[in-house]
Chain A
Amino acid sequence: MRSMVYRGPYKIRVEEKDIPPIEHPNDAIVRVTSAAICGSDLHLYHGMMPDTRVGMTFGHEFVGVVEQVGPSVQRLKPGDRVMVPFNVYCGSCYFCSRGLYSNCHNVNPNATAVGGIYGYSHTCGGYDGGQAEFVRVPFADVGPGLIPDWLDEEDAVLLTDALPTGYFGAQLGDIAEGDTVVVFGAGPVGLFAAKSAWLMGAGRVIVIDHLEYRLAKARTFAHAETCNFVEYEDIVVHLKKETDYLGADVVIDAVGAEADGNFLQHVSSAKLKLQGGSPVALNWAIDSVRKGGTVSVVGAYGPIFSAVKFGDAMNKGLTLRMNQCPVKRQWPRLLEHIRNGYLKPSDIVTHRIPLEHIAEGYHIFSAKLDDCIKPLVVPHPA
């Protein structure tokens, strides 16, 4: 099969690989029909995530058709169209049985601090991902869901991570009616977080980024006010002034490890790999939220230490909430919102890249060329 393969930092290519076999009785093999490149794939692509091995196939956002199932699979059969959450999880461990699917303890021998994620280094379990023609899907009775007939395939791909994670970011903020919500990052997750904040009754939503074309999308797609932090000497002071010196009630970090805005922080983490992530957005979040407020973190960070302004968080009495999203718990409500017309996830898709051209797709997304917001990867373009 044709498959995206990592060759070292900033380098990928398409190679021929064996179709993955059934390795566990509850496995399924899925033929991928659409996948996506996620902002967090860029952390792997840039060589930031420890134990990212040459030869691995990335891709944790994908949908497809069940090709084969293991002997214990009861809920899926060959031919079913499925969307697969980015979490690999067992459904039965201490954490899964309480709904913490992203924190599963039975799928990742390499680390206890993180669950299993498709195509996301050995630190996340060593599973090949879905930027390929076929992918192994463990625990087929637990993770994947049937794609409803009425749902567009591109909307379904975005339900495997970006939309649920954005919604989850807003949810972690415990937004109350009339709250002022600031979202750092106008990428896919930030756009969905901003949109979701309104569903939860926010009174004001302000999105911060440095890419004008993404801020324009935040205004039209997410109905948000926007600020380009490059235009202000100090974005924290600007946000204080915007909120009558109170600070925002809730701030969402939808940027994560490669945040811009501070040269030293960015270079020491993204280029020199000396930090788990550049905490610029997180530090701005801590400083711009009001005392007693909530900072929600859904931007991804690596496991190495980061220079976070923890003292300010403590002294301000903040609530810090964060996790990888337990995707499948979000689906029923998000499907309702899509059906009601409140959400149209595929509106943020800007590029559809054939698998054979995925190296260009990664470069376009990484270098933010061509007004790229969300690139999809299509193994077999029509």
Chain B
Amino acid sequence: MAELPTPYTAGKPALKESTETLRARIPGWGADLDPKDRPAHPREQPGIETGAHWDFPERQEEKWPRERSVEHAFVTPVFGTSTPLKGASGIIRRYAYKYSEGRAAHWLLLVAADRVDAWEHHLRSFATLRPDNPITETGVLSEFSRHGMGSRFGKKRADLGHQWIDPVVVGAPWALAAGGLAVVVLRSIRKEHAR
């Protein structure tokens, strides 16, 4: 009878290379063979020395009402202060934090707020000396200096099937906004002429 594949019988498969060969071929092979030599072992080590010299950290000053997960008992003693809630996206986000992390509503509202946030900032940027510029901010010009074509074609890449969506995701809202603006301007010019 032909030899049966491994899982149909009790034996273990033979090593493809002996441990001696592996040790000779690969620097450090087996250095951490013993789990005790592996750093985060065991996973939980009660009483581990961390450098903390407090039982509970001093509280950071809350300079504006800090949103928090309802699964927390309070605002944590230390927190990030990167970008406070603001505008319509801020209202949506504050509302999202009424739901626990276990609820889809919490996350889907936050994702929606992210999209609103981006457009709030794009629109606001047009009233500044530095409006958003999708060409420079996407870094897309590196396509020309960093072998955009050569990096993609003839390389058996799986992502070619969907990469065309990226410019649509980024560019379509800008094209629609520009088109809408053009329509408004043309209509007002026609109205002026009609008068």
Contact = CB atoms under 8 A, between A and B. Distances in A.
Contacts of B83: 53-56, 122, 126
Contacts, number: 320
B7 A245 contact: yes
Interface stretch (A28-36, A61-69, A185-193, A223-231): A223-231
Contact of A7 (B110, B118, B143): B118
Interface string A177-219: 1100000000000000000101111011000001110000000
The residue in A7, A174, A368 that gathers the most chain B C-beta atoms within 10 A of its C-beta is A7
Contacts of A72: 53, 58
Chain A interface residue number, banded = 35 or more
Main secondary structure on chain A at its contact with chain B? loop
The residue in B19, B38, B56, B58 that gathers the most chain A C-beta atoms within 10 A of its C-beta is B38
B44 interface: yes
B131 to A, nearest CB: 11
A250 to B, nearest CB: 13
A86 interface: no
A9 B169 contact: yes
Given A203-B16, A211-B157, A11 B137 contact: yes
A113 to B, nearest CB: 5
Nearest to A50: B110
Nearest to A129: B82
Nearest to A96: B50
Nearest to A204: B16
Given A98-B48, A342-B28, A369-B143, A11 B134 contact: yes
Nearest to A341: B27
B121 A55 contact: yes
B146 to A, nearest CB: 4
Contacts of B166: 10, 271, 367
Interface of B: 5-8, 13, 15-17, 19, 22, 25-33, 35, 37-41, 43-48, 50-58, 60-61, 66-69, 71-72, 75-83, 89, 93, 96-97, 101, 104, 107-108, 110-111, 113-115, 117-122, 132-134, 136-143, 145-148, 151, 155-159, 161-163, 165-166, 169-170
Given A12-B139, A199-B30, 10 more contacts: A50-B107, A108-B79, A111-B71, A122-B82, A203-B22, A267-B165, A273-B111, A326-B40, A363-B143, A364-B142
